Structure 1
Amino acid sequence: MPGGPLCLVLNAASGHGEAGAAVAEIEQACAAAGRTLQVFAIDKRHPPQQQAGAAVAAAQAGGGIVGVAGGDGTINTVAQATLGSGCAFGVLPQGTFNYFARNHGIPTEMEGALRVLLSQPPQPVQVGLVNDRVFLVNASLGVYAQLLEDREAFKSRYGRNRFVAFGAALRTLFGQHRPWDLRLAWGGEVHSLRTASLFVGNNALQFEQVGVAEGEALEGGSLVAVLVRPMHRLARLGLLLRGAASRLDDAEKVQTLSFRSLDVAPSRGALRRRVKVATDGEVGFMQMPLRFRVAPEPLWLIRPPAVA
């Protein structure tokens, strides 16, 4: 609602004084736009899920919007709380890759993102679910989920940048990985296959960068899965290089498919029930079987007008 409060979830522990400077800039922009600001800071005593819920409740009570300042993982947490609440959702991206914001045309610098957040109307955007857990960018299991764990370990030691992320990817790809025997059901078909990784995407920009043409199906209201067959270490390096060169579709052991609902279960003889699943960069355990699907309702995102 125009003029309603901006109920903003923000990580108070980020940077050296950067959070305070960001709040001051946001307060100034809100004052200029005639909008009040309520900040719900994430810290050791106030975890992300708690603050996201509090922000949604405040936005519902005051006819405002829910905002989040953070990377894709923090954005995911707040989106989970916002979906189905009736509230509009705004993003001030502060991550390394910012796939969600960039995919929807939201500027990655604060001034531009604030201008969009405080002036544009909300528009519906597609959300993915895995066992009812939201993902805005991607969800995965297998090698890709392991890569995210390794990347976070590297970042805690060496800092957060793209070179560190690439180094973590190399370490993951050259490690030992047990393949998965899975049964996949979608569109009335059932297939059993062995894979090193199952990656489900909801972000056209990410697919475009690695060269997966099937990503165009996202525009038609589908999700897209990428399955990688087991391969030796040097072949994994070649796959990484193909992705970096936007040529993943050319890889012989990569299979893609689009769907609105995909059920994933262990094949006969497979014993694993609880599995590590990554959603928008955050890794946790989920119970098999997994159901990946398009959420029945959209997220009402404040974003620039779509370019025809």
Structure 2
Amino acid sequence: MARPVCVFRAGQVCSMAPAVNAITGYHIILNARSGNRDVDGKCAVIRDVLGSAGSRYRLHIVKDARKLRETAIRVVNEARQDGGAVVIAGGDGSINTVAQAVLGSGCVFGVLPQGTFNYFGRTHGIPEDLAEAARALLRAEVRPVQVGLLNNRIFLVNASLGLYPKLLEDREFYKRQLGRSRLVALWSALVTLWRSHRILRVRMDGEDGGRDLVTQTVFVGNNALQLEQVGIPLASQLDNGRLAVVTLKPVGPMAMLGLMLRGAFGKLDAADSVVSFAARELTVKPKFVLSAWTKVATDGEIFWLRAPLRFKVASEPLLLLKPPA
């Protein structure tokens, strides 16, 4: 029997995850709508790499994004029965959906990044090139990865309310019109930030007490790379069972564009209108609103949740197939 790998997480006892050579094969879910749409080409690359290595695998192609969740649940059940790893080939939103099904199942999780920004994969050293990512999968090690929770929804990169979900919503609109690229995402952000935005009045309660806040957005980060790129110096806190909380005081369009430039140069935290801190748990209650439902976003996916909104670190990690350092 293969020796299990003992993994530790802050504030948690040791959990036992299977060694990579104990994995019987790979159940690969491919989101046909992530990245470029050359599904046949992607399948050919995966077959070539895994077939050449003599690895067992099964491809599950999802052409309708609405069926990704039910496919993930079914594939996780199959993987539990045969000892295989569950792998998602898709962007951060697809990764989130499949990880939601994997978390707590005992299955090992793998990623073949195919999105626009690929923050999750890049943070963990997983190549963006599909062939390289598939080869990295074969030599990966099982490592625990911190998972954030917003009520009953997980997030691996970030969760937010206010301006940030609006940015994502507009970005998807422009991508449908102009194509999926980082340049289109940048143009969309410029257009969105130039407009006026609704001000949030919220009550925030954490381990350090409560505060009433007037802000344009509440952003909770769980991804070191994204935080480092914009200049929020809280990335090291993510290894200690904490989340990075960023809020933005109300500012005008010109000041907003200035903040975007600061973020582009990795100096966002130096701005007076940006407030950031680390927290293990955080409860956000919108004030003076007629409805208890609030528009939120997790890892690029937008939906509505009933307040109060509770952010925290999940009690167990995701067991990720991660390339050796």
Give the TM-score taking structure 2 as reference length: 0.90
Aligned to 1:296: 315
> Structure 2: which 5+ runs fail to align?
1-17
Checking the alignment, whether the CA contact within 8 Å between 2:34 and 2:90 is kept in structure 1 is no
Checking the alignment, whether the CA contact within 8 Å between 2:242 and 2:279 is kept in structure 1 is yes
Aligned to 1:31: 51
Equivalent residue in structure 2 for 1:8, among 22, 28, 39 = 28
Checking the alignment, whether the CA contact within 8 Å between 1:266 and 1:272 is kept in structure 2 is no
Checking the alignment, whether the CA contact within 8 Å between 1:69 and 1:94 is kept in structure 2 is yes
Aligned to 2:13: none
CA shift, 1:17, in A, is 6.5
Equivalent residue in structure 1 for 2:178, among 153, 158, 163 = 158
Equivalent residue in structure 2 for 1:275, among 259, 279, 294 = 294
Separation in structure 2 between the aligned mates of residue 304 and residue 45 of structure 1, nearest angstrom: 28
SS of equivalent residue, structure 2 residue 234: helix
CA shift, 1:234, in A, is 0.8
Equivalent residue in structure 2 for 1:177, among 190, 197, 202 = 197
1:95 aligns with 2:115: yes
1:114 maps to amino acid: A
User: Structure 1 residues 15, 45: CA separation in 2 closer, same or farther (over 3 Å shift)?
Assistant: closer
Separation in structure 2 between the aligned mates of residue 296 and residue 54 of structure 1, nearest angstrom: 24
Q: Alpha-carbon deviations, 1:81-100, whole Å to 9, x = none?
A: 10001000000011111100
Give the TM-score taking structure 1 as reference length: 0.95
Separation in structure 1 between the aligned mates of residue 36 and residue 294 of structure 2, nearest angstrom: 36
User: Structure 1 residues 156, 34: CA separation in 2 closer, same or farther (over 3 Å shift)?
Assistant: same
Q: Alpha-carbon deviations, 1:89-138, whole Å to 9, x = none?
A: 00001111110000011111112211221222211010111012011100
User: Structure 1 residues 238, 77: CA separation in 2 closer, same or farther (over 3 Å shift)?
Assistant: same
User: Structure 1 residues 44, 96: CA separation in 2 closer, same or farther (over 3 Å shift)?
Assistant: closer
Q: Alpha-carbon deviations, 1:33-91, whole Å to 9, x = none?
A: 33221122112397110111111111101100000001111111111110001000000
SS of equivalent residue, structure 1 residue 52: helix
1:117 aligns with 2:137: yes
Checking the alignment, whether the CA contact within 8 Å between 2:23 and 2:85 is kept in structure 1 is no
State how 1:164-243 maps to structure 2 within 5 Å.
Answer: 164-243=184-263
Separation in structure 1 between the aligned mates of residue 244 and residue 224 of structure 2, nearest angstrom: 10
Aligned to 2:324: 305
Separation in structure 2 between the aligned mates of residue 43 and residue 161 of structure 1, nearest angstrom: 20
* Paired residues, number: 305
Separation in structure 2 between the aligned mates of residue 113 and residue 44 of structure 1, nearest angstrom: 24
Equivalent residue in structure 2 for 1:75, among 80, 92, 95 = 95
Question: Aligned-pair RMSD on alpha carbons?
Answer: 1.6
> Structure 1: which 5+ runs fail to align?
none
